Structures are given as C-alpha cells and as structure tokens.
Amino acid sequence: MSYRLAVIDVERCVGCELCMFACSRRFGEGGLAKSAIAVRSIGGVEKGFTVIVCRACSDPPCAKVCIVNALMVRKGGGVVLNPHKCIGCGRCIDACPVKAVFWNSEINKPNICVHCGYCAKYCPHEVLKLEKVV
C-alpha cells in the first residue's frame, strides 16, 4: 500500500506554517531548513494561501533531469532522494512544474517530500491529508 500527501481544502489554510515546521522536525531539528512543503500567500494574505507539496507524479519530471540518478521513482509516485549521489546541481528545482522541490542551502541539496504525512498531523485546520494511492 502506498500513500501520497494531498491538499484537500486549501481554503481552510490560515498560513500558520505548522506543516513546514513539522517537516523539519522529523529530523529532530527546529527551523525550516529541511522542509519539503511550503505555504505562501497568493498575492497577500487577504487572498488566501497556496500550499505547495509534491504531487507524487507517476512519471516525475524531476527524476528525468537528474544527471546522476539521485532521484529514484518511488512506488506510489514521486521520488526518493539518494543524497550521497546528489551533486547539488539544482536541475530538479527547475523541472518541477509545481515548484515542490525545495532547497536546503545549508547542505546544498534538495528537500524531497517522502509522503510520510507527518505534516498533516499538525495541520489543525484540515488542509492536508495522507491519502491511499489506488
């Protein structure tokens, strides 16, 4: 069984960014350096927010442009990063059409969503959900 992270109702998003903090906290650290999810306003908070997450593509464009095969297609969609192979070229950032590849400038490698759903547990407003992939 595979899962993917889904944005089920973006209109409920209040921009608290708790999901972003949860994502970095998975690694036992504070801050936002390792977050693979982002929330930003759509031209001012009055207009609401957009939540940017990996869509778990079945044929991921990010993997296709990785010249060192550091991004392997994941069962259920999306990719898994092998950081030891990654050379930090950043091509994956440009390839992602929803801009869901984030960059950790402290280690110069991408932050890739693993669809674990940890962030969804901390969304108090039912914006995020971990869904089964059928």
Partner 1 sequence: MKELSRVLHIDLTRRSFHVEDRPDLFENYIGGVGAAINLLLEECPKNANPLGPENPIVFAVGPLTGVFPLASKTVAMFKSPLTGNLGESHAGGRSAIAIRMAGYGAIVIKGSSETPIYLAVHDGKVYFRDASGIWGMRSSYTVGRIIRELEPGAGFRTIMRIGRAGEKLVSYACVITETYRHFGRLGLGAVFGSKKLKAIVISGRCSIKIPDSKAYKEVYDKIFNSAVKLPIMKKYHDLGTAYNVTPLNELKALPSLNLKQASLKESVNISGEMLAENYLGRRVACVHCPVACIHLASLREPYEREPYFYKTTMVSYDYEPLYALGSMLGVTDTKGWLKLMDEVEVQGLDAISVGVVLAWATEAYEKGLITDKETMNIRLKWGDYNTYIEAIRKIVAQPNEFYTSLARGVEYAASRYGGLDFALSFGGNEMPGYHTGLATYVTYLTGSRHSHLDSAGYSLDEKNVKAGMRQTPDEIAEALFKEEVWRQVLSSLVVCFFARGIYTPSTVIESLKTAGFDLGFKLTEENLNKVGIEILKKKYLFKVREGFNYKSLRIPKRILEISTPLGMLDEMEIREAVNIFFKFLT
Q: Which residue type does 72 have?
A: M
Q: Does 109 bind partner 1 (CB under 8 A)?
A: no
Q: Which positions from 42 to 61 touch partner 1 by CB under 8 A, shown as an x/- string?
A: -xxxx-x-------------
Query: Closest separation between CB of residue 130 and partner 1, Å?
Result: 18
Give the one residue of 9, 29, 94, 126 binding partner 1; rule: CB under 8 A: 29
Q: Does 16 bind partner 1 (CB under 8 A)?
A: yes
Rounded distance between C-alpha atoms, residue 88 and residue 77, angstroms: 22
Angle in degrees, CA 64, 67, 68, rounded to 5: 115
Q: Cβ(100)–Cβ(54) under 8 Å?
A: yes
Q: Taking CB under 8 A as the criterion, which residues in 66-105 touch partner 1?
A: 105
CB burial class (10 A; 0-12, 13-18, 19+) of residue 59? exposed
Q: Does 24 bind partner 1 (CB under 8 A)?
A: yes
Give the one residue of 4, 34, 55, 115 binding partner 1; rule: CB under 8 A: 34
Give the one residue of 23, 39, 86, 120 binding partner 1; rule: CB under 8 A: 39
Of 3, 4, 21, 2, give the one whose Cα is nearest residue 124.
21
Query: Closest separation between CB of residue 119 and partner 1, Å?
Result: 13
To which H or E segment does residue 65 belong? helix 61-65
Q: Which residues bind partner 1 (CB under 8 A)?
A: 14-18, 21, 24-25, 27-35, 38-41, 43-46, 48, 105-106, 122, 124-125
